[in-house]
Structure 1
Amino acid sequence: MPLAGLRILDLTSAVVGPYATQILADYGAEVIKLEQASGDIIRWISGRSPTPGMSGKFMHMNRNKRSISLDLKTAHGREALLRLAAQADVFVHNMRAPAVRKLGLAFEQLRGQNDKLIYCNVVGFGSKGRYADRPAYDSILQGGTGLASLFAVHGGEPRYVPYVVVDRTAALMVANAILVAIIARAQSKQAVELEIPMFESFASLVMSEHLYGETFEPPIAGSGDARLLDPNARPVKTQDGYICITTNTDAQVLALFDAFERPDLKRDSRFNSARNRIDNIAEFFKIRAEEISRRDTAHWLRTLGEHDIPVMPCHTMDTLLNDPHILDVGLVETALHPTEGRIKQINVPVSMTGYTPGLRHHAPHIGEQTSEILAELGYSAQQIQSLLREGAAYQYRFEPSQGRARPA
């Protein structure tokens, strides 16, 4: 496994941190997920499950991890955490700075326990700005970064993308930053502190897409990519449904006009070169919509495919599962979870010579491996039982034969 031997202590919850650490876990990192006895909030706010606290979204972001549950407000719970941190390569959290300092878990404090630690702060807003320490969720940041307002450019209303796009994108940045820090630590032999601010990270992406003419000083045009903001830059309606089509190159546009059986458009200087097409993009999209509305979806998928034009059906979540290519590559398969029964497992789409990421551990219940991990830290069976009795640690046990979980 490419990341075998890398130990990550994960104190994150919800989406950003858990998705980032699952990416690393899928490639062999040992991820220990630390939770309160109440568990990661995403266990509870993302739908019901056969047994409590195992929502589908939680399981899609927490496979290949083990869970330990400690009460960090107790002396013994915090002591166990410090033992874990002393043996970890990476410590990652998404708490606000005041809470981290109050728990005694800031970088300066943990570096004293482990001088090779990669310490990763996942925060809503960067610590140098006036928004530092504010709470942040995906929807807050979709609005704050200008993403939601892009829906209102042509007289509509601001809208959220119905997907936690800021959280998911930030998670990829977190995983990337941790991998870079691993290389940096190998060179410096010293502890590394990271800060990944979600607001600035996603704002940089939105601006790189839509700053446009405002990039230059003085500006040579307004902000906003006209190709993306045009009202017709959306799935195109056919006689019986919708298709998704994009033609960026001149060759693709000319092939599209052939598919339309419109040789007149091929001679039209407004559309037959990219340099001119950008200034006439609204009219181009309007003609495209009119032509495609004349025939059904099956015709366009077949005809546009024959002309090597990028096209796909506009899937729903239900039809996506049965897309023939998704079935060909085995992106989704059925797996058996010890308590939740048969589940749809979303596999890793990336391929790598010599290694195929797969399921090593099912998504855990709250503190499912608490006793196991404490024993690895050197706690005796008697000490573990004492921690459980006093509430400094929590364990959730299940009986696979019965298919039901129960608290210890």
Structure 2
Amino acid sequence: MAGLRVVDLSTVVFGPYCTQTLADLGADVIKIEPPEGDTVRVIGTPAHTPGMGPVFLRLNRGKRSVVWNMKSPTGRAALEKLLATADILVHNIRPEAVARLGLDYDTVRALRPDIIYVHCTGFGLAGPYAGLQAYDDVIQAASGAAALLPRADGNPRPRYLPMLFADKVSGLHATYAVLAALVHRLRTGCGQHVEVPMFESIASFNLVEHLCNATLVPPTGDWGYARQLDPTRQPMRTSDGWISVAPYVDDRWQRFFQAVGRLDVFERPSLADKTLRRQNMSEMYLLMTDLMPSRSTADWLALFKQIAVPAMAVNDIGGLKDDPHLQAVGLFNERQHPTEGAYLEVRQPVVFGGCTLPELRHAPHLGEHSDELLRELGLLPADPMPPDAR
């Protein structure tokens, strides 16, 4: 995406995750921030500088930060001149404020007719929830995600997944929407308005498997993919830790029980043939769970590799940096920030065979590139004026 300019007026995670991906792919991303900065700047404990928190570092590498007062004539003029040079605009401004700020699609399109205008919203603009505030927790609740764990484990209390699941998935939807709109522009010369609503994004994402039998009219069964909601399908305790095993297909179950000398389980009437075993998979999971404490995690992993049954140890997220596979593929890269010191960068997971992604500039300080952009736009002299010439 080198040579493409993205103006990023988004905050927190949803929009910035999209623009981070675009920056990783080589786009020139210009992050316009309010004087107090993006709120994500204060998440976590900074190494040295207030406003340079670790989550901000993770989400904003490769971007340039600009602080302009968009309500002042000078700031507005700078923004309009910048938008005239932009290929893509990404923002998450609430619908009622967009027109008031002069950032509606028609106004922006008048500055750059072929711009790709991406509006990251909480809820689709055509529905009754349009304009409501949306955060990850709210979307997890509205989309049914918070009600999935109770269906799986019997604890009736709804619970959030402990990650910014809705923000990040919606950010990926926004990314592919940008790329599709770019292809459209290459073919037609036309930009377009692109709406990416979180609620619809996560509802659609959840219903890939969980619409299930309700896909058909009339439904042939209940909503929810039974295998995913099976309370027996959980990590299993070994003698020294936890392991995840995914036999799934019948021949793998047979290989497992043969390897542990328990082919007798198939003499049970409930497990006598392939159809019965599929219907009563919970019983096989319970049998497997009972066997797991007899060996160490390493011993089980060696056996599962030998008999070609998918399995992995349960890692604590804090240990991923030391995972030998992730080290071998270079997912983590230790870099030196000019002011914040050493930090871990997590690269894009996709590997391109025909090109190399650029090494990106470090996450910026608030307003670090304001004057630089003004000079690029011809709104400041190319060289700073000496004091006696001011």
Range of TM-score over shorter length: over 0.9
Q: 1:61-116 CA deviation, whole Å, 9 max, x = no partner?
A: 11111111111122211111111110000011011111111101000111111111
Q: Distance in 2 between matches of 1:195 and 1:149?
A: 27
Of 75, 78, 81 in structure 2, the residue corresponding to residue 80 of structure 1 is 78
TM-superposed CA distance for 1:271, in Å, is 5.0
Of 63, 66, 71 in structure 2, the residue corresponding to residue 65 of structure 1 is 63
Q: Residue 351 of structure 1 aligns to a residue in which SS? A: coil
Unaligned runs of 5+ in 2: 386-390
Question: CA distance change for structure 1 residues 111 and 275 in 2, over 3 Å: closer, same or farther?
Answer: farther
Question: CA distance change for structure 1 residues 208 and 75 in 2, over 3 Å: closer, same or farther?
Answer: same
Verify the 8 A CA contact 1:65 1:363 in the aligned structure 2: yes
Q: 1:231-289 CA deviation, whole Å, 9 max, x = no partner?
A: 12221111221011112222322222233321223566755876443421221221121
Q: Distance in 1 between matches of 2:383 and 2:270?
A: 78
Verify the 8 A CA contact 1:39 1:366 in the aligned structure 2: yes
Match of 2:137 in 1: 139
TM-superposed CA distance for 1:188, in Å, is 2.2
Match of 2:370 in 1: 370
- TM-score with structure 1 length normalisation? 0.89
Question: CA distance change for structure 1 residues 118 and 236 in 2, over 3 Å: closer, same or farther?
Answer: same
**Comparing 42-51 with 25-34, which one deviates more in the overlay?**
42-51
Question: CA distance change for structure 1 residues 226 and 358 in 2, over 3 Å: closer, same or farther?
Answer: same
Match of 2:206 in 1: 206
Unaligned runs of 5+ in 1: 386-408
- TM-score with structure 2 length normalisation? 0.93
Q: Distance in 2 between matches of 1:84 and 1:39?
A: 19
Match of 2:388 in 1: none
Q: Distance in 1 between matches of 2:357 and 2:136?
A: 28
Question: CA distance change for structure 1 residues 76 and 270 in 2, over 3 Å: closer, same or farther?
Answer: farther
Question: CA distance change for structure 1 residues 273 and 88 in 2, over 3 Å: closer, same or farther?
Answer: farther
Q: Distance in 2 between matches of 1:190 and 1:358?
A: 28
TM-superposed CA distance for 1:383, in Å, is 12
Q: 1:328-370 CA deviation, whole Å, 9 max, x = no partner?
A: 1111121001111000111122111232324321111111111
Question: CA distance change for structure 1 residues 264 and 10 in 2, over 3 Å: closer, same or farther?
Answer: same
Match of 1:345 in 2: 345
Match of 1:301 in 2: 301
Match of 2:360 in 1: 360
Verify the 8 A CA contact 1:332 1:345 in the aligned structure 2: yes
- CA-atom RMSD, angstroms? 1.9
Verify the 8 A CA contact 2:43 2:54 in the aligned structure 1: no
Match of 2:254 in 1: 254
Match of 1:177 in 2: 177
Question: CA distance change for structure 1 residues 170 and 273 in 2, over 3 Å: closer, same or farther?
Answer: farther
Verify the 8 A CA contact 2:6 2:88 in the aligned structure 1: yes
Verify the 8 A CA contact 1:254 1:272 in the aligned structure 2: no
Q: Distance in 2 between matches of 1:39 and 1:299?
A: 51
Q: Distance in 1 between matches of 2:277 and 2:80?
A: 61
Q: 1:293-347 CA deviation, whole Å, 9 max, x = no partner?
A: 3222122111112212111110012322111111111111210011110001111
1:152-301 equivalences under 5 Å are 152-153=150-151, 154-156=153-155, 157-265=157-265, 270-271=270-271, 275-301=275-301
